[in-house]
Amino acid sequence: MVFIRNRQATIIEDYLDGFCRTNPKVKKVKGLPIVLQKVQDDHLVPIISGGGSGHEPAHIGFVGKGMLTAAVYGEIFTPPTAEEVLAAIRAVDKGKGVFLIVKNFEADLVSFRKAIELARQEGIAVKYIVSHDDISVDTKNNFRMRHRGLAGTILLHKILGAAALTGYSLDELEQLGLSLATEIATIGFATKSAYLPNAALPLFDLEEGQISYGIGIHGEEGYRTVRFESSEQLANEIVNKLKLKFRWKEGEDYILLVNNLGSMSEVEQGIFLNDICQFLELEGLQLSYIKTGKFMTSLDMGGISVTLCRVKDRKWLDFLEAPTEAAAWWATNFYRNQISQEMT
C-alpha cells in the first residue's frame, strides 16, 4: 500500500510541521520532536505525555490549554529517547514542577523514567503516572492481564489537564492521577490489521470476515479470533470483559469513551456505539458522559476500543467538560447525561 511521505527519515518532522500550520495555539521545538503550547501559564504545573507516533491524534492533538502542555514524539511505534523527553521537561519547567503521563509499555517506561531521573538530578521536581488501562489477556503467558496504556490515557490527559488549569499542585495531580488510573479500563477489537509505512504485509494476520479481540496499538494480535456475526455480538463480548474487571453494581456512574482505532467508518462506529450503550444500560449502569471519535489510533487499523471509567468523584465530570484549546478533543462528539449533571 502507498504511504504518503517525502523521505522515510523525515516522516515525523514533516508531520509535526504540518500539524502546527493549522493549529496556531501550539508550536514545534526547533530540531526536536516536541510540540508545546505557544503561551504557557508560569503559575501552573505543566503536563507532558508522548510516545511513538502512529497513534494520532494522540498525543499531539491533545496539546493545548486545559490538556497537555507538551507532547514528545518518537518514530512510528517507537518511543522518544530519554534525551528527547528530558528536552521536553526542560522546555516547560517554570519552577512549579512537571507532571508526566506515560503509557505502560516497556520501552516507553525506560525512556521516560531515565529522563525523569536526569531531570531530578538537575533539580527539577518531576512526578508521573503510568497509564495501564488495557484489560486484554496474554494467551501465551498464562492469560495474564496485559495492562498496556491504551485510549484510557486520553481521559488522564483531559481530567488532569483541567485540574492543573485550576491550580492543582504537583502532589495533588499525582494523587488525582493515581485515583483515576485504577478506575479506567479499555478493551477493543480489530477487523483488519495495520500496515507500517511502505510495508507489504500487515502487522498481524486476520482473514477477511474475522474479528480479533483484545488487540494492542502496536500491531499486537488479540486473545481470540472469531468470525464476525454482528455488532451486537461485539458489544456483548466487550461488556462481558469490562464487567469482569469492574464487577459493577446497578446504578453506578461511568464515563464511556468509544475510540476509532483508525479506519472504521462513521456508520460502523455509530452502530457499535449504539449497541455498547444499550448493553451497558441493560446492566443498569448510568452513563454520565459519552464521547466517541478518534483518540488513540494504530495507523490504518480497522477496529474500535471501548474505555470505561467508574466515576468516584463528581469533579471528574466537570473536568471533562471544562474548556480546552486542544484541537483533537473538541473535534469529537460527546454527550453529558442531564440527570447525572443535576446530581449533587
Active site residues: 55, 218
| Number of CB atoms found within 10 A of residue 244's CB | 10
The answer to whether the bond into 59 is cis (omega within 30° of 0) is: yes
- The C-alpha cell at 174 is 499525582
Distance CA 329, CA 327 (A): 6
Distance CA 276, CA 55 (A): 23
Distance CA 272, CA 237 (A): 12
Name 240's Cβ contacts closer than 8 Å, sequence gap at least 6.
none
What's the CA angle centered on 101, arms 287 and 305, to 5 degrees? 40
Count of all residues that appear for the chain in the document = 344
| Number of CB atoms found within 10 A of residue 30's CB | 6
Cβ–Cβ < 8 Å for 29, 224: no
The residue type of 278 is Q
